[in-house]
């Protein structure tokens, strides 16, 4: 199973990188969306999946990346050079909100993050340098889809690789200890707050990078688009539907999610119903397979394997 | 040498006071047991010593340093390690991962492999279960794994919260035999236990807690023959 998912992952990575050679622009756009979704889901999973800290405030980091890029581009900076700045700002912001929020546990932490996300959206709509609720437009002539696509594809692959490395590292092991029993982790010397802050900052920085690329691609951002609560919700749903705390799960979730989104958006009557469908999906997953699609695949695969050996 | 001094400790859960003005001392190499009925404040005292609860008042002096209210992870890296009640293993990690994670404090990392060998010698069953998920172990095996994990941290003071809870009489004996072996290695132990005969047989000194207060103290052999302890906790008094 591990070898199978590694092979699938590598083929997906190669396909994503090579896609501009044979796909037309419209389809390439869909792959761009997939890469974007993979980044958000896998990055969220570092804190939410590995450390078990479910945050519903991730649109804040996406928005910080997006706004940093647009504002600096308007000042004449190359948009791509603004990426690391947005990532650092998001990481700093994640620590600032993490310090008080990580004092809370479980659902209380989650509720606090909803508040943070909404507060950031309201702030962004009411101050003037962000263009208020009407948003901001990138300077003209700054758009190059191929370059943006490549950056997004590379970032998606790197994010999955980083997540896999984190999961195997001592850092990942400490996050697992925090998730499974935080008191035991503390009682054995794990500074849980520091690790949670670290995981939060890492995932926030990655999400901000994706946010910057999002802004470059769409050329226009507003609080209602990048600081949207529904966006935060989608970021959480993908890894949960795919298989929370795993490497392949968030990728699978992102695949399902972006495919559904593309299909639904092309049907005008269903355009606003996607959250309803995801909600239903979430309930189905929670009830029947809490380990997500990946858990389901593992079960089916293991059964096949057992039957194979029983027959042999 | 005095390793731990607890002075007038008060611990609250919200508005409810669970520990009232508790004082006791532990010398290096000693085994001290806190005994008492359910709700007497034994576990609360231990959790406060481990830093998992913040005492409202009182002093905790460990190795000459005032440590009351410090975070648990700092206390662990100073050598105060709690083996919590109900084991609290990381269920989705293997036995080996649990033990290795126990050696997390910096001072414990260098000798982790040697200690691991000693733990397997003490609990051979753990070596046979190394790649099994901790959540799938039996109660006795989980307790051994939890004690082993605590030892991996190379504690100067090992806090044991009801290590015999819910185990069969045979396993209780096995667990206490391992505690004897740990004491023989010179580890200082504070043991909270409801199995008073076993606890007193192991300990050097004991403190009896009732509704959050220390009501009786003495050497373990004194308390074993004390009529109040016999009546209240040893189960063969005249009721």
Q: Please state, in angstroms and as integers, the Cα–Cα distance from residue B227 to each residue in A239, B47, B54, B57, B232, following that order.
A: 62, 30, 35, 33, 8
Q: Of A181, A189, A191, which is closest to B88 when you measure between CB atoms?
A: A181
Domain over A2-311 is classified CATH 1.10.10: no
CA nearest to A39, candidates A210, A175, A173, A195? A210
Q: Do B51 and A180 touch (CB under 8 A)?
A: no
Q: Are A54 and A233 in contact, with CB atoms under 8 Å apart?
A: no
> From CA B57, how far away is CA A126, in angstroms rounded?
46
B95 lies in a domain? yes
Q: Of B73, B88, B97, which is closest to A189 when you measure between CB atoms?
A: B73
B239 lies in a domain? no
B174 lies in a domain? yes
The continuous run of DSSP H or E covering B3 comes out as strand B2-13
Q: Give the pLDDT confidence score for residue A128 in this predicted structure.
A: 86
Judging contacts by C-beta atoms under 8 Å, the chain A residues touching residue B142 are none
B79 lies in a domain? yes
Q: Provide the residue ranges of all domains of chain A, joining segments of one domain with +.
A: 2-311
CATH code: domain of residue B26? 3.40.50.300
List the pLDDT tens digit at each of the 239 positions of chain B.
Answer: 899 999 999 999 988 999 999 999 999 999 999 998 888 889 999 999 999 999 999 999 999 999 998 999 999 999 999 999 888 999 999 999 999 999 998 888 888 999 999 999 999 999 999 999 999 999 889 999 999 999 999 999 999 999 998 899 999 999 999 999 999 988 999 999 988 889 999 999 999 998 888 988 889 888 888 888 887 777 654 43
- Burial class of A156 by CB neighbour count within 10 A (0 to 12, 13 to 18, 19+): buried
B175 lies in a domain? yes
* Contact status of B61 with chain A (Cβ, < 8 Å): no
Judging contacts by C-beta atoms under 8 Å, the chain B residues touching residue A189 are 73, 76-77, 81, 104-105, 108, 153
Q: Are A221 and A70 in contact, with CB atoms under 8 Å apart?
A: yes
Burial string for A52-63 (b: 16+ CB within 10 Å, else e) reads bbbbbbbbbbbb
Q: Which residues of chain A have pLDDT under 50?
A: none
Residue A294's SS3 state is helix
Residue B216's SS3 state is strand
Q: Do B91 and A180 touch (CB under 8 A)?
A: yes
- Burial class of A16 by CB neighbour count within 10 A (0 to 12, 13 to 18, 19+): buried
Q: How many domains does chain B have?
A: 1
- Burial class of A288 by CB neighbour count within 10 A (0 to 12, 13 to 18, 19+): exposed
Write out the residue range of the structural domain in which residue B128 sits: 2-234
CA distance A245 to chain B (A): 12
Place of tokens 């190359």: A78
CA distance A184 to chain B (A): 6
Interface with B, mutate which of A176, A189, A195 (most B CBs under 10 A): A189
Q: Do B52 and A192 touch (CB under 8 A)?
A: no
CA distance A181 to chain B (A): 6
Burial string for A104-123 (b: 16+ CB within 10 Å, else e) reads eeeeebbebbeebbbebbee
Interface with A, mutate which of B43, B73, B78, B159 (most A CBs under 10 A): B73
CA nearest to A93, candidates A70, A75, A111, A67? A67
Q: Do B88 and A188 touch (CB under 8 A)?
A: no
* Contact status of B105 with chain A (Cβ, < 8 Å): yes
Paired residues of B110 in beta bridges? none
C-alpha of A274 from chain center: 18
Interface with A, mutate which of B90, B97, B107 (most A CBs under 10 A): B90
Q: Give the pLDDT confidence score for residue A302 in this predicted structure.
A: 82
* Contact status of B97 with chain A (Cβ, < 8 Å): yes
């Amino acid at each position: 199973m591990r070898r199978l998912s590694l092979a699938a992952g590598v083929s997906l990575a190669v396909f994503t990188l090579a896609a501009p050679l044979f796909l037309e622009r419209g389809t390439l756009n869909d792959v761009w969306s997939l890469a974007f979704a993979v980044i958000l889901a896998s990055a969220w999973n570092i804190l939410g999946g590995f450390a078990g800290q479910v945050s519903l405030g991730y649109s804040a980091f996406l928005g910080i990346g997006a706004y940093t890029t647009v504002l600096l581009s308007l000042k004449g900076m190359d948009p791509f050079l603004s990426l690391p700045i947005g990532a650092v700002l998001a990481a700093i912001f994640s620590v600032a909100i993490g310090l008080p929020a990580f004092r809370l546990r479980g659902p209380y932490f989650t509720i606090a993050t909803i508040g943070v996300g909404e507060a950031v959206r309201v702030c962004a709509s009411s101050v003037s340098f962000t263009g208020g609720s009407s948003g901001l437009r990138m300077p003209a002539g700054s758009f190059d889809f191929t370059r943006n696509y490549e950056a997004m594809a590379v970032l998606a692959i790197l994010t999955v690789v980083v997540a896999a490395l984190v999961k195997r590292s001592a850092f990942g092991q400490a996050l697992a200890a925090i998730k499974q029993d935080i008191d035991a982790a503390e009682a054995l010397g794990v500074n849980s707050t520091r690790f949670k802050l670290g995981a939060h900052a890492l995932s926030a920085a990655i999400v901000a990078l994706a946010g910057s690329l999002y802004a470059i691609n769409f050329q226009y951002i507003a609080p209602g688009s990048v600081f949207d609560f529904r966006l935060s919700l989608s970021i959480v749903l993908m890894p949960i539907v795919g298989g929370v705390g795993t490497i392949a799960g968030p990728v699978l979730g992102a695949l399902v999610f972006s495919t559904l989104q593309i299909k639904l958006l092309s049907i005008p009557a269903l355009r606003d119903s996607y959250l309803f469908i995801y909600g239903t999906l979430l309930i189905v997953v929670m009830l029947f397979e809490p380990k997500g699609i990946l858990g389901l695949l593992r079960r089916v695969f293991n059964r096949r394997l057992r039957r194979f050996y029983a027959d042999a | 040498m005095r390793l731990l001094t607890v002075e007038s400790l008060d611990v609250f859960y919200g508005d409810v006071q669970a520990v009232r003005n508790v004082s006791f001392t532990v010398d290096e190499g000693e085994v001290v047991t806190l005994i008492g009925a359910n709700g007497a404040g034994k576990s609360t005292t231990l959790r406060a010593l481990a830093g998992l609860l913040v005492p409202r008042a009182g002093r905790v002096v460990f190795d000459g340093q005032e440590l009351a209210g410090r975070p648990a992870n700092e206390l662990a890296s100073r050598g105060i390690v709690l083996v919590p009640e109900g084991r609290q293993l990381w269920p989705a990690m293997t036995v080996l991962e649990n033990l290795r994670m126990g050696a997390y404090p910096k001072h414990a990392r260098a000798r982790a492999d040697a200690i691991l060998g000693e733990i397997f010698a003490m609990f051979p069953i753990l070596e046979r279960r190394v790649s099994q998920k901790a959540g799938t172990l039996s109660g006795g095996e989980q307790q051994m794994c939890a004690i082993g994990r605590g030892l991996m941290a190379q504690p100067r003071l090992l806090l044991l919260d009801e290590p015999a809870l819910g185990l069969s009489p045979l396993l209780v004996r096995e667990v206490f035999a391992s505690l004897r072996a740990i004491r023989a290695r010179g580890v200082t132990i504070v043991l909270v236990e409801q199995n008073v005969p076993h606890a007193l047989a192991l300990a050097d000194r004991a403190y009896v807690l009732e509704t959050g207060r220390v009501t009786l103290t003495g050497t373990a052999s004194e308390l074993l023959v004390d009529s109040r302890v016999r009546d209240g906790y040893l189960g063969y008094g005249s009721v």
